[in-house]
Structure 1
Amino acid sequence: MTATLYRSDPYLREAPGIVTGLTPDGGVVLSASLFYPQGGGQPGDTGRLVWLDGEMEVTDTRKGDGEAIVLLPAEAAPRPDVGTPVTQVLDWERRYRYMRVHTALHLLSVVIPLPVTGGAIGAGKGRLDFDMPDAPEDKAALEAALNDLVARDLPVTEDWITDEELQANPGLVKTMSVTPPMGTGRVRLIRIGEEETQVDLQPCGGTHVRRIGEIGTVTLGKIEKKGKQNRRVSLLVGG
């Protein structure tokens, strides 16, 4: 099992670790991972590992067997031996762009309160697919509502509930195509706002900003028809 440093502190840029395993395809498993593994529409983190007599570029991060997180090296890059202490260095600028976009997509699901059928997160842009037979009549109004939310600078926090509590509250799940991570006995919820200011609460395993004001200005892109019932709504995050 790999400890999830990216979850306990998504703003951490460097961290120590110990190599606990090497995979047949060249991956490195650490005792604790600063790097987020691809999942929930969010790409895996990149960066590098540094040790006493070597350095390895991390080109992607994926989930491995069980609770392991696997760091994938650049082709022909050296790998540290099992037991080697390393320093993890995150490509922070890339990760932070993902954090801002991911949180913005949660807000998009607030201003468009329809079931989500898919989504993807990029560095500076993202999209959600909605079960939306007809296109929105006023795209400018949606964009204004989104930016009004961002301007409120509400806090983003996490809570945990049991698998059974989630099953008893299916309305928390907005995504039709992605099942929230279950099976460990508890599910992570991302909350935007507090008590009377709360605007969103949904299961999510990704990384997010601390306050939604960090997102910055949001611009809505294309709204495309994808099948009989689906509309794809894209957004861009400035800066």
Structure 2
Amino acid sequence: MTTEPLFRTDPYLQEAPARVAALTDEGGVVLDRTVFYPTGGGQPGDSGWLIWEGGRLPVATAVKRPDGGVALVPAEPLALPPVGAELRQVLDWDRRHRHMRVHTALHLLSVVIPLPVTGGQIGAGRGRLDFDMPEPPENLALLEERLNELIGLDLKVSESWITDAELAASPGLVKTLSVRPPVGQGRVRLVRIGTEARQVDLQPCGGTHVARTAEIGRVVLEKVEKKGRVNRRVSLALAE
């Protein structure tokens, strides 16, 4: 049971009608189409609400299913909408938008620190990237300044698609060593920051992002932690 990913075509869509396609054995709700981004690529699943005639269900998170569906996990043990029911799905928009801001900021962090990425995590206000970085950066304040300069340029964030074969022929597009881009479906989504003529960053990514970098707002590089012989974790936070 596949679910149409409305968040893929419009990450700013905050609510939408849908039909209940299935209920999982674990108590999740699968819709025919959804605005809820499912956990993946270091980005948490969305939360929000399902509202139908005679019922309202808070959603804690969303997860991918092996069959291509997205299961919405209830936040409380309340009555579930019946299969076939028409309902309205509503995002916790403030939380999602913070994920979008942090996620886009992390793409820019990989620009100001041009080293292989070994891991990452996105939160609602904070995020981090792990780098193959044998020595710590000499001047964290300077990196923060450069990062905020890129954000302040108000660069366009857009997407395009390439085939699996094109990605295989351009391995330099992949910055993350720990999580490989999803292949096997024939095409891979690329996220570009800047224009094709004046590009700042281009990499495969399935997450949600803001439309322009100025929407991120100012960020703070909080700390650098050693996480192995050559791995270091750089954490950032939204300043507001």
After TM superposition, the score normalised by the length of structure 2 is 0.98
Shift of 1:103: 0.1
Correspondences of 1:5-154 after superposition (within 5 Å) = 5-154=6-155
Cα distance in 1 for partners of 2:16, 2:39 equals 19
Q: Tell me the number of residue pairs that the alignment of Structure 1 and Structure 2 aligns.
A: 239
* Alignment partner, residue 229 of structure 1: 230
Any idea what SS the aligned residue of 2:30 has? strand
Identify the range of structure 1 (104-113 vs 65-74) with the bigger mean alpha-carbon deviation: 65-74
Correspondences of 1:204-215 after superposition (within 5 Å) = 204-215=205-216
User: Given residue 16 of structure 1, which amino acid in structure 2 is its aligned partner?
Assistant: P
Shift of 1:145: 0.5
User: Given residue 61 of structure 1, which amino acid in structure 2 is its aligned partner?
Assistant: A
User: Given residue 15 of structure 2, which amino acid in structure 1 is its aligned partner?
Assistant: E
Shift of 1:140: 1.0
Shift of 1:77: 1.3
User: Given residue 91 of structure 1, which amino acid in structure 2 is its aligned partner?
Assistant: D
Cα distance in 2 for partners of 1:166, 1:152 equals 28
After TM superposition, the score normalised by the length of structure 1 is 0.99
Cα distance in 2 for partners of 1:196, 1:221 equals 33
Deviating beyond 3 angstroms after TM superposition, the runs of 4 or more aligned structure 1 residues are none
Any idea what SS the aligned residue of 2:197 has? helix
Shift of 1:171: 0.3
Q: Which runs of 5+ in 1 are unaligned?
A: none
Cα distance in 2 for partners of 1:173, 1:76 equals 41
Cα distance in 2 for partners of 1:16, 1:91 equals 16
* Alignment partner, residue 176 of structure 2: 175
Identity in percent: 63
Q: Which runs of 5+ in 2 are unaligned?
A: none
Any idea what SS the aligned residue of 1:35 has? coil
Q: CA RMSD in A?
A: 0.7
Shift of 1:74: 2.3
